[in-house]
């Protein structure tokens, strides 16, 4: 594994055939994309709906396969992994999805939801799994008193923290966060972003953070890649992108971001502050 990269995409292309039978055309969800995520950093991936950013996130961890191109994730050629090798490799890479409610089994308690990834991956004995469940629940600001609750007993922000905890409990090296706060209102967005930022720094995680909102991406990311219709149109340090965008589409995103409400939010809120939504 190259120690200077956790994720490396080279000339990645993903196409689909769309349209009625006999008149199908090729749609590019990703077109010759190069993307690098370095250790202990957050790469923000920003673009409008349909730009291909979620496709790239799924390609990164092998949920879908590219039409062409090379992808290395946490030291493995993710394109060639299959079966048991891919299952084992998922210990090292995880994904946080946008819709936390639909991803949680409504009949499982918080204890069961957090323990499930450990059981599936055959990690630890009962005592060890309990220790890890308690630890990660505390890490995302969910009291151990909540472990017997069902998903419907939690707020939207708390359910998203459960999704974050499920991704973290396997102690991955790389996480893809796909629009993890877009379904939340602004105040709860800030709380969840603070949690993600603190955990990323404390654990030294590498992350691909996907959003349509550049203000959110700028808050949490070290570097930013801008996508438009499946192609990279700009990339650079987050601060540089915000101060001096070079592409007209990026300028549009920057203008919209300056109208956002997250600019004064700072990481580091206490867990007690964050557990009350």
Per-residue pLDDT at 211? 94
* Assigned token pair, 46: 């920003």
Residue 25: beta bridge partners?
Answer: 18
Per-residue pLDDT at 275? 41
Residue 158 lies in a domain: no
Per-residue pLDDT at 260? 60
Residue 109 lies in a domain: no
Residue 15: beta bridge partners?
Answer: 28
Within 10 angstroms of residue 216's Cβ, the number of other Cβ atoms is: 26
Write the pLDDT tens digit of every residue in 121-146: 889 899 999 999 999 999 999 988 89
Q: Which residues contact 36 (CB under 8 A, 6 or more apart)?
A: 5, 7, 8, 9, 43
Per-residue pLDDT at 98? 79
| CATH code at position 16 | 3.40.50.300
Q: Which residues contact 203 (CB under 8 A, 6 or more apart)?
A: 168
Residue 155 lies in a domain: no
Whether the pLDDT of residue 104 is over 80: the answer is: yes
DSSP state of 97: -
Write the pLDDT tens digit of every residue in 177-229: 999 988 788 888 888 999 999 999 999 999 999 999 999 999 999 999 999 99
Please list the helix, strand and coil fractions of the chain in percent, rounded to the nearest 5, in that order.
40, 25, 35
Find the domain containing 255 and state its range: 7-95+174-263
The CA distance from 271 to 136, in Å, is: 12
Residue 90 lies in a domain: yes
Mean pLDDT of the chain: 88
The CA distance from 121 to 100, in Å, is: 21
The CA distance from 154 to 106, in Å, is: 11
Question: Given the structure tokens 């190259």, which residue do they identify?
Answer: 2
Residue 184 lies in a domain: yes
Write the pLDDT tens digit of every residue in 14-67: 999 888 887 888 899 999 999 999 999 999 999 998 899 999 999 999 999 999
- H-helix segments, 37-185: 53-60, 83-89, 100-103, 110-120, 126-139, 156-168
Residue 190 lies in a domain: yes
Residue 35 lies in a domain: yes
Whether the pLDDT of residue 262 is over 70: the answer is: no
**What pTM did the predictor assign?**
0.88
The CA distance from 235 to 241, in Å, is: 8
Whether the pLDDT of residue 269 is over 80: the answer is: no
Q: Which of 58-62, 74-78, 101-105 has the lowest mean pLDDT?
A: 101-105
Per-residue pLDDT at 182? 86
The CA distance from 29 to 247, in Å, is: 20
* Number of domains into which the chain is organized: 1
Residue 128 lies in a domain: no
Displacement of CA 211 from its chain's centroid (Å): 9
């Amino acid at each position: 594994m190259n120690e200077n990269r956790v994720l490396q995409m080279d000339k990645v292309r993903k196409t689909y055939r769309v349209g009625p039978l006999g008149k199908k055309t090729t749609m590019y969800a990703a077109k010759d994309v190069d993307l690098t995520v370095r250790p202990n950093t957050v790469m923000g991936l920003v673009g409008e709906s349909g730009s291909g950013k979620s496709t790239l996130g799924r390609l990164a961890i092998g949920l879908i396969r590219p039409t062409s191109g090379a992808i290395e994730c946490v030291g493995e050629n993710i394109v060639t992994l299959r079966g048991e090798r891919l299952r084992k490799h998922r210990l090292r890479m995880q994904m946080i999805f946008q819709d936390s409610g639909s991803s949680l089994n409504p009949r499982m308690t918080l204890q069961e939801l957090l323990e499930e990834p450990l059981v599936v991956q055959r990690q630890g004995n009962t005592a060890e799994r309990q220790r890890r469940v308690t630890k990660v629940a505390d890490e995302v600001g969910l009291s151990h008193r909540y472990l017997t609750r069902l998903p419907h007993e939690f707020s939207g922000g708390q359910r998203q923290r459960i999704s974050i905890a499920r991704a973290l409990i396997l102690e991955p090296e790389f996480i893809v966060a796909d629009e993890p706060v877009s379904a939340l209102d602004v105040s709860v967005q800030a709380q969840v972003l603070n949690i993600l930022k603190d955990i990323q720094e404390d654990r030294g995680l590498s992350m691909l953070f996907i959003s349509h909102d550049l203000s959110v991406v700028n808050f949490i990311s070290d570097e930013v890649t801008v996508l438009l219709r499946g192609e990279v149109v700009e990339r650079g340090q987050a601060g540089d992108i915000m101060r001096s965008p070079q592409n007209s589409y990026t300028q549009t995103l920057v203008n919209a971001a300056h109208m956002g409400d997250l600019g004064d939010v700072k990481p580091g809120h206490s867990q007690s502050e964050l557990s009350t939504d």
